[in-house]
Amino acid sequence: MCGISALLLADPSQVAVGELLESLGLLQHRGQDAAGIVTCGHKGRLFQCKGNGMVRDVFTQPRLRALSGNMGVAHVRYPTAGTPADSEAQPFYVNSPYGIAMAHNGNLTNDSELRHFLDYEAHRHINTDSDSELLLNIFANNLQKTGKFRINEQDIFSAVEGLYSECRGAYAVTAMLAGFGLIGFRDPHGIRPLVFGRRKSLSGKGFDYMFASESVVLDALDFTDIEDVQPGEVIIVSKSAVTRRRLVVEETIAPCIFEYVYFARPDSTIDGIPVYNARLDMGVKLARKVKQELGEGMDIDVVIPVPDTSRAAALQLSHELGLPYREGFNKNRYVGRTFIMPGQEMRRKSVRRKLNAMPTEFKDRNVLLVDDSIVRGTTSQEIIQMARDVGAKKVYFASAAPAIRYPNVYGIDMPSRTELVAAGNSDDDVSAAIGADRVFFQDLDDLIASCRLFNPKITTFDTSVFDGKYVTGDVSPEYLEKLEERRADCSKLKADSADNEVIGLHNYK
């Protein structure tokens, strides 16, 4: 999962990098592995700074001063396809044709096929293992076919239309053509989110335009007329006009439901669904599940959330059950999100550095811990043990999401079934594995209902991690096996240490 943004300021004398930097700070929760910004300045010259690390670490003041120009694209990343190498920090750049920088959130499911095509037929050099570089080069190759000295909007629409027919999987994209403008588009199923908005220019002449993964970015930067880029839609923002066209209309529109469960900030609205409100309703339905399963034997004394994403669900659950809600864990906000950390052992060690249990809320009590989901079980197991260590008598554990039993292929790094604690296991098995007295999982139909409550027009979501149904229809057992091998924790850590010879092109140090 990644975060992307792009900005074009109406006043050519203004500099875009400050607000691009701010946008990455607002999207830092979507990726803490790497960050990057590419801007476009005088005469179409591109300036770049990117590298591994948090936003605050990658962008020093000298680097920021070098990023001139009134438009740019930006990206925060955690590794899905490819490796955590510095060379795979985005945005990616190709100089031919026309100079293109691109930021991508998602994952392609036919990357092997695309890599073969680009090598043997298009004769384009691919420098990394990243599927995002493949996506960029497919787009560049389609633009190259025009053979024009200068291109127009129709040429861009044709290039993206070709990309839609060639690239399968999930992708939300922001791109910049040197000296021309910005492009934003989503895959035909709308799996990954992208929003678009505008505001009056500070100069009073014209409008500034911005794309971002989440609406919170545009809200914070005072953009208005905020809307979702539609699945299969392309929006082109040039210096003189905004042109948009929906090139593909799929029968199945399926936003990733895990955005609402975990990834998105609660103050964002995605595809017309306010994330916070959806999580509140998840709490309502999860409370019914707990009440139904425990019945008259309910002996819970207190409801405690695992911060931060489960707070809304836990609060509403406690209200529905008529139980006190308490903050039992103090969170160190300077430790990254454990779910998106590479390496099982690193995740395990990080939990206790990140959370500290407060004994007064646990001692001699039967507690119900509420979390957004249970993925590998590593975090849940450590948290439950922390609760017991400070005196909890019984520890129940409720998940606002159903049991995750299948790999994700659309940009979430939980691919291997062997890493998923619920894969092939019953709820009782999961309880034993994580050390809980009992586990409660949200029903899938209830999770879908919690999201559809706020936008009934969306009839389908990508729920593949729960039910194994992949909306793109091209995910075979062979593909999953290959993906599991590529993304295994051991190979990811090995690549992290061995890939320091791959160059990152045009980087400012």
Distance from C-alpha of 51 to C-alpha of 57, rounded to nearest angstrom = 9
- Considering Cα of 219, then 223, then 225, then 230, what sign does the dihedral take? negative
State the Cα angle at 199 between 194 and 200, rounded to 5°. 160
Report yes or no: 49 and 59 within 8 Å, Cβ to Cβ.
yes
- CA distances for 408 relative to 109, 130, 360, 369, 481, angstroms: 11, 17, 39, 26, 12
Can you tell me whether residue 320 is helix, strand or coil? Answer: helix
For residue 200, what are its two tokens? 């009056």
DSSP designation for 230: P
Report yes or no: 106 and 171 within 8 Å, Cβ to Cβ.
yes
* Catalytic, out of 2, 40, 49, 256: 2
Q: Across 332-484, where does the E strand assignment appear?
A: 355-357, 366-371, 394-399, 438-441
3-state helix/strand/coil string of 39-56: EECHHHCEEEEEEECCHH
Distance from C-alpha of 138 to C-alpha of 187, rounded to nearest angstrom = 14
Which residues, in sequence order, are CB contacts of 23 under 8 Å at separation 6+? 5, 7, 74, 210, 212, 217, 221
Kindly tell me the burial class for residue 307, based on how many C-beta atoms sit within 10 Å of its own C-beta (0-12, 13-18, 19 or more). middle
Is 2 noted as a catalytic residue in this protein?
A: yes
- CA distances for 396 relative to 22, 372, 385, angstroms: 39, 14, 12
* Residues recognised as catalytic: 2
